[in-house]
Amino acid sequence: MDQNTNDMKILNKGKCKSLSGKSMLSYLIAADADNAIYIRITKNTGGGFFSNEWIAMADIQSVMEEHPPGTPVTSFMLQPLFHGKSVNTPAFLLASLLDFNLMRPMEGKKRSLEPVEDFTSMVEKMTSSSNSSKKVTTKRPTKKAAIKKKAMARKKTARTV
């Protein structure tokens, strides 16, 4: 997709660890003028190169629908979605989809991911929600984030006393 960020309506900005856990990634989820949803990686704190091209969620959805249930999704499966030469980008995309709760760890299989059961309906919900002016988010705060927020509140209270 040759879309410019200025042509897109940003629905969500996210940050997550790469699948290896060695770097932090930033990503955007956006809608174009036709309300098609796209995702792209915008930053990597590690040394690895990546492509910042927009990838249509419909294309990702097509890959997931062709994927046999019960087998792990690999970055190799997503490689054809990219025009760039970076082999890192499909794995970074998987990390962002995991962070956005469109993928999940496979039960009983270490370092293996699978799409959530309602992947298609979640993507469709994002598309219908992009018509509204609200920010779309399916991401829930992590337990760690909630604990950190409470700790910061206690710290502020302790300073004012």
* Region 18-32 average pLDDT: 93
* Region 68-86 average pLDDT: 86
| Contact in structure between 125 and 11 (CB atoms under 8 Å) | no
Q: Is the pLDDT of residue 132 over 90?
A: no
C-alpha span between 38 and 103 (Å, rounded): 16
* Region 103-107 average pLDDT: 90
Q: Is the pLDDT of residue 102 over 60?
A: yes
pLDDT digits (tens, 9 = 90+) for 47-64: 888 999 999 999 999 998
Which is more confident, 158 or 138? Answer: 158
Q: Is the pLDDT of residue 3 over 70?
A: no
Q: Which two tokens stand for residue 137?
A: 């988010």
Q: Which helix (H) or strand (E) holds 67?
A: none
Closest CA to 41 of 101, 96, 114: 96
Burial of residue 3 (number of CB atoms within 10 Å: 0-12, 13-18, 19+): middle
